């Protein structure tokens, strides 16, 4: 299994896009940092920006959606799936090695964005706010950031498990990427309707889109009045949905003819 | 027991309602080069994929070195190298990186460079594969199948897209490998491509094995012909038949040669009877023709 993860990492590290994406993330974060520092009137509160890792937290979702769909779909696209599968390893191992690689990649992104956020904070906003300042009632800036990262990590993986599944079904990056992105960002558009419907049909609160509200709920304690779920319920819900999508992927991948 | 490295018995495979392999059985002896020949769509790639444990089959058994092979039993794959249909290539990796990626940890850099050398890929092995031509990709695919020096090598139409020189190089490599004890199963839809290479032949048509024999047997079974062109073919045929010559029942006027047939006798016989001979040719009815006859005559029973 370690060999397989190494092989997946080898491929990832030899793609130019891997480096381009990391560089892009850092540049975008820096641009948002600089703009907020120089034009605070238009760009708002630097604390809020810092808590979202200078918007990095959203870009990571995009980049991970692309990476996850590509790590599965590229094997079908390049015809390399046969080479992967006929070896002494089992299909399940091949798929799991890809998941592990993506898990490591997502952790890498969060660490990178976090470290860069700290740097930007020191360089651009050293005197503007302290990490211990209050951000939300009961939560300091750094605390809010941590909760945001943890919540985002769980919900991102809920989306990614769906993306991995779709890439597996459609064998194409395009379909998986579009649905993944729409799924993630659809929330802000339809959440109001969803909350209304949930008041009417209580069981709707268990739908996967509602789980995506976890990051907001972690920071703002009153949010559970909208989601109708307690925070532990949401954490478990996210994990269960992720597990379900992964399990379906696993079964499909094992049965697929190549 | 250990003579047989690959054994396929009563293999059946369906794609949906379509039965693609029907009761396929054959075995491959260790150290032999075996040709799997049949028209396009006959099921050659499907057999090979089943042998590589790439999919489930309705019924049958496949063993490599005595170990069963199926999608859930892959242990034997450690001894196998393969190229199926077209090579799978990552455009963002160089040829060398492909070999590094897919070769075992126990395969040394020297072993990698050895196969690169033999396949004459040195000049572009460190270039990204997206710049490769079809033939270069094909060579890389073959190198990937061979790099770990497996006991059993499975090559699906390996000559596809190779230029004559590369084709010749590949033959040399294959014969070398066989000399060192490697077993090879090679498919092609053109028998003449494999003719000079293989020890045994397995012919498949519409998912059924129609013929398995050693090449030696096949060659001895093919006939030599003396093709004639005369001023009066009808009369000549009559005379020859009367003198116990066996006439070929193909479209051309020809005598089936045996050990006693002498061209001089034939010429004398005909000219004595006042027939002018315009042309005489020895023709070795080639394997391709025997194969085509085989596929034509042995009408595959539709089930
Ligand atoms: N994945 C698949 N789904 C459905 N039919 C297939 C599939 N793969 C192969 N076939 C069919 O199986 C038959 C044998 O194919 P194949 O083994 O590729 O032939 P060959 O390699 O001898 O040219 C063909 O009729 C082909 O259409
Ligand atoms: Mg084929």
Same domain membership, residue B228 and residue B198 = no
Structural domains in chain A (count): 1
> Which atom of ligand 1 lies closest to the CA of B44?
22
Q: What is the CATH number of the domain that holds B246?
A: 3.30.70
Neighbours of B78 (CB within 10 A): 16
Gap from CA of B103 to ligand 1 centroid (Å): 29
Same domain membership, residue B267 and residue B173 = no
Contact A86 B88 (CB under 8 A): no
Q: What does DSSP say about strands B59-64 and B33-37: parallel, antiparallel, or unpaired?
A: unpaired
Same domain membership, residue B144 and residue B106 = yes
Contact B84 A86 (CB under 8 A): yes
Same domain membership, residue B15 and residue B123 = yes
Last residue of a domain, one of B219, B234, B252: B219
Q: What is the pLDDT of residue B253?
A: 85
Can you tell me the mean pLDDT for A242-254?
A: 94
Q: What is the pLDDT along chain B (303 residues), one digit of tens a residue?
A: 458 999 999 999 998 889 999 999 999 999 999 999 998 999 999 999 999 999 888 899 999 999 999 888 888 999 999 999 999 999 999 999 999 999 998 899 999 999 999 999 999 999 999 999 999 999 999 999 999 999 999 999 999 889 999 999 999 999 999 999 999 999 998 888 888 888 999 999 889 988 887 777 666 666 677 888 888 888 888 888 888 888 877 777 888 877 777 788 888 888 888 888 888 887 766 666 666 666 665 544 443
Q: Give the one of A10, A11, A78 whose C-beta lies nearest to B88's C-beta.
A: A78
- State both tokens at A207: 């739908």
* Most ligand 1 atoms within 8 A of CB, residue of B16, B46, B54 to mutate: B46
- By a Cβ cutoff of 8 Å, what residues of chain A touch chain B? 3, 7, 10-11, 14-16, 74-75, 78-83, 85-91, 254, 257-258
d(CA B52, CA A98): 22
Residue B289 within any structural domain of the chain: no
Neighbours of A19 (CB within 10 A): 10
Q: What is the pLDDT of residue A193?
A: 84
Q: Assign A220 a pLDDT band (cuts: 50, 70, 90).
A: confident
Return the SS3 of A135. strand
Q: What is the pLDDT of residue B1?
A: 43
User: How confident is the model over A35-50, as pLDDT tens digits?
Assistant: 888 887 777 788 888 8
Q: What angle do CA B143, B148, B153 make, to 5 degrees?
A: 70
Which of B50, B88, B97, B100 has the highest number of chain A CBs within 10 A, making it the mutation to test binding with A?
A: B88
Same domain membership, residue B159 and residue B256 = no
Q: Is A20 exposed, middle or buried (0-12, 13-18, 19+ CB in 10 A)?
A: exposed
User: How confident is the model over A200-214, as pLDDT tens digits?
Assistant: 888 888 988 888 888
Residue B152 within any structural domain of the chain: yes
Which ipTM did the prediction report? 0.87
Structural domains in chain B (count): 2
Return the H-helix or E-strand segment holding A103.
Answer: helix A91-124
Same domain membership, residue B276 and residue B198 = no
Same domain membership, residue B203 and residue B54 = yes
Which is nearest to A103 in space by CA: A175, A12, A234?
A12
- State both tokens at B189: 């839809």
Q: What is the domain range of residue A172?
A: 2-255
Three-state SS letters, B41-90: CCCHHHHHHHHCCCCCCCEEEEEECCEECECCECHHHHHEEEECCCCCCC
CA distance B4 to chain A (A): 20
Last residue of a domain, one of B199, B219, B239: B219
Q: What is the pLDDT of residue B287?
A: 63
Q: Give the one of A15, A75, A86 whose C-beta lies nearest to B77's C-beta.
A: A86
Q: What is the pLDDT of residue B302?
A: 41
Q: Assign A199 a pLDDT band (cuts: 50, 70, 90).
A: confident
Gap from CA of B8 to ligand 1 centroid (Å): 18
Q: What does DSSP say about strands B18-29 and B33-37: parallel, antiparallel, or unpaired?
A: unpaired
Residue A252 pairs in a beta bridge with none
Distance set, CA B151 to CA A65, B81, B99, B142, B250 (Å): 41, 8, 18, 15, 44
DSSP-derived secondary structure letter, B190: -
Which of B54, B79, B100 has the highest number of chain A CBs within 10 A, making it the mutation to test binding with A?
A: B54
Same domain membership, residue B231 and residue B198 = no
Residue B187 within any structural domain of the chain: yes
Q: What is the pTM of this model?
A: 0.85
CA distance A228 to chain B (A): 45
Q: Which ligand number lies closest to the CA of residue A256?
A: 1
Same domain membership, residue B157 and residue B124 = yes
Q: Assign A22 a pLDDT band (cuts: 50, 70, 90).
A: very high
Q: Name every chain B residue with its beta carbon within 8 A of the beta carbon of A16.
A: 92
Ligand 1 site: residues with CB under 6 angstroms? Answer: A 257; B 15, 20, 38, 40-46
Last residue of a domain, one of B167, B202, B219: B219
d(CA A61, CA B80): 40
CA dihedral A196, A200, A204, A205 (to 10 degrees): 70
User: How confident is the model over B46-60, as pLDDT tens digits?
Assistant: 999 999 999 888 899
Residue B299 within any structural domain of the chain: no
Residue B298 within any structural domain of the chain: no
Q: Assign A128 a pLDDT band (cuts: 50, 70, 90).
A: confident
Return the SS3 of B28. strand
Q: What is the pLDDT of residue B279?
A: 86
Q: What is the domain range of residue B49?
A: 4-219
Outline where DSSP puts E strands in B163-264.
Answer: 183-188, 200-205, 208-214, 224-230, 254-256
Q: What is the CATH number of the domain that holds B134?
A: 3.40.50.300
Same domain membership, residue B244 and residue B127 = no
């Amino acid at each position: 299994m370690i060999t397989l993860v190494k092989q997946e990492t080898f491929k990832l590290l030899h793609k130019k896009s891997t480096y381009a994406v990391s560089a892009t993330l850092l540049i975008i974060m820096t641009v948002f940092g600089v703009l907020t520092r120089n034009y605070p009137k238009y760009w708002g509160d630097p604390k809020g920006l810092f808590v979202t890792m200078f918007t990095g937290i959203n870009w990571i979702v995009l980049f991970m959606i692309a990476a996850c769909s590509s790590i599965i779909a590229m094997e079908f696209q390049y015809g390399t799936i046969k080479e992967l599968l006929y070896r002494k390893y089992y299909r399940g191992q091949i798929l799991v090695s890809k998941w592990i690689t993506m898990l490591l990649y997502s952790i890498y992104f969060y660490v990178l964005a976090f470290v860069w956020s700290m740097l930007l904070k020191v360089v651009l906003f050293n005197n503007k706010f302290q990490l211990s300042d209050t951000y939300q009632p009961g939560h300091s800036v750094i605390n809010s950031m941590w909760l945001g990262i943890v919540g985002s990590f769980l919900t991102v993986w809920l989306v990614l498990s769906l993306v991995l599944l779709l890439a597996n079904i459609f064998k194409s990056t395009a379909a998986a990427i579009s649905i993944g992105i729409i799924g993630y960002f659809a929330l802000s558009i339809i959440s109001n309707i969803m909350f209304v419907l949930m008041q009417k049909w209580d069981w709707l609160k268990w739908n996967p889109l509602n789980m995506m509200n976890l990051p907001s709920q972690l920071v703002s304690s009153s949010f559970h009045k909208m989601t109708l779920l307690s925070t532990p319920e949401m954490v478990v819900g996210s994990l269960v949905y992720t597990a379900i999508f992964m399990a379906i992927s696993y079964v499909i991948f094992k049965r697929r003819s190549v | 027991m250990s003579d047989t490295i690959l054994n396929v018995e009563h293999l059946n495979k369906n794609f949906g309602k379509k039965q693609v392999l029907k009761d396929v059985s054959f075995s491959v002896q260790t150290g032999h080069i075996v040709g799997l020949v049949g028209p396009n769509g006959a099921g050659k790639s499907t057999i090979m994929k089943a042998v590589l444990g790439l999919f489930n089959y309705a019924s049958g058994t496949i063993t490599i070195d005595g170990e069963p092979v199926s999608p859930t039993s892959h242990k034997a794959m450690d001894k196998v190298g393969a190229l199926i249909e077209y090579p799978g290539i990552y455009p963002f990796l160089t040829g060398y990186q492909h070999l590094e990626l897919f070769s075992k940890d126990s395969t040394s850099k020297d072993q990698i460079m050895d196969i690169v050398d033999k396949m004459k890929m040195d000049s572009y092995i460190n270039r990204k594969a997206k710049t490769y031509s079809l033939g270069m990709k094909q060579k890389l695919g073959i190198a990937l199948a061979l790099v770990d020096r497996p006991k059993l090598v499975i090559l699906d139409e390996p000559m596809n897209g190779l230029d004559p020189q590369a084709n010749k190089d590949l033959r040399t490599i294959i014969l070398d490998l066989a000399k060192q004890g490697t077993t090879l199963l090679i498919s092609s839809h053109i028998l003449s491509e494999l003719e000079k290479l293989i020890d045994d032949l397995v012919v498949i048509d519409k998912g059924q094995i129609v013929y398995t024999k050693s090449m030696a047997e096949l060659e001895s079974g093919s006939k030599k012909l003396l093709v004639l062109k005369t001023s009066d073919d009808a009369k000549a045929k009559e005379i020859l038949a009367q003198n116990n010559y066996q006439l070929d029942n193909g479209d051309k006027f020809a005598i089936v040669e045996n050990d006693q047939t002498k061209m001089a006798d034939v010429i004398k016989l005909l000219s004595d009877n006042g027939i002018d001979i315009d042309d005489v040719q020895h023709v070795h009815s080639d394997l391709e023709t025997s194969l085509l006859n085989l596929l034509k005559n042995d009408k595959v029973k539709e089930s």
